[in-house]
Amino acid sequence: MTTLGVNIDHIANVRQARKTVEPDPVQFAFLAELGGADSITVHLREDRRHIQDRDVFLLKKTIKTKLNLEMAATPEMLEIAKKLLPDYVTIVPEKREEVTTEGGLDVKGNVKYLKDFVENLGDSNIEVSAFIDPLSDQINYSKEIGFNFIELHTGKYAELSGNDQYEELQRIIESTHVANDLGLIVNAGHGLNYNNVKKIASINNMNELNIGHSIVARALAVGLEKSVREMKSLITPN
């Protein structure tokens, strides 16, 4: 069964717009869990534009599910992860000027560095995922590097429509099969919403979907617990 990871970065975005103490993403993580979230995802960025160090350490202490720490493969983030000991880390590409993560990590072009980085996290018993585009060479190199998971970037699928979206869906399905054959656990995320999530959730052996923006946007109308519950019902077989 596909599980749901809820990204609460956008709660912190609202807080940081005023540099104040509310809304507190730690409190909203509790509501997400009440709604059925199977894990909580946060991206601790180099520029600390939303999630702060305080948030991740409090989340680690208070959530009842799992903590997925998204981060760039930098020495600073490595040190934080080894102190925090999240349930798993997802390595993502990061550019200061981007609004949100654009595209997947180039594991093929950074094999040696990423292999050492992943081994270092593994020494602290932290499982590691690579956020990558649904491309066979990136999947193969993820396996070679030693990642435990991959998270397939679904942004292109979310942006397309009609036959183009169908072709991208087939690429994601095939990528999932390739990764499974290599022994990799497959997650997916980026741009998924209440209209396009079901086809991704129905892919055989899709482990978890990480969704944030659409759930938080829906929560503005109906509340976070209900918005998570609605998304959970869409990805859970009847």
Is CATH 2.60.40.10 what the domain over 3-235 is classified as, yes or no? no
Instruction: Give residue 229's pLDDT band: very low, low, confident or very high (50, 70, 90).
Output: very high
How much of the chain, in percent, has pLDDT values that exceed 90? 93
Torsion of CA 106, 109, 114, 115, to 10 degrees: 130
d(CA 50, CA 120) in angstroms, rounded, equals 26
pLDDT in tens, 55-95: 999 999 999 999 999 999 999 999 999 999 999 999 999 86
Instruction: Give residue 96's pLDDT band: very low, low, confident or very high (50, 70, 90).
Output: low
Of 51, 90, 56, 87, nearest to 73 (Cα)?
90
Read off the amino acid at residue 227. Answer: S
The token duo for 200 is 């991704």
d(CA 238, CA 233) in angstroms, rounded, equals 8
Backbone φ and ψ for 181, nearest 5 degrees, come out as -65, -25
Read off the amino acid at residue 114. Answer: L
In the prediction, which pLDDT does 95 show?
66
pLDDT in tens, 177-190: 999 999 999 999 99
Torsion of CA 206, 195, 106, 86, to 10 degrees: -60
d(CA 51, CA 44) in angstroms, rounded, equals 6
H or E segment to which residue 91 belongs: strand 88-91
Read off the amino acid at residue 221. Answer: A
Domain boundaries, the chain: 3-235
pLDDT at 174 over 60: yes
With tokens 């292109």, the residue in question is: 156
Of 191, 227, 173, 232, nearest to 3 (Cα)?
232
Catalytically active residues, by annotation: 43, 70, 190
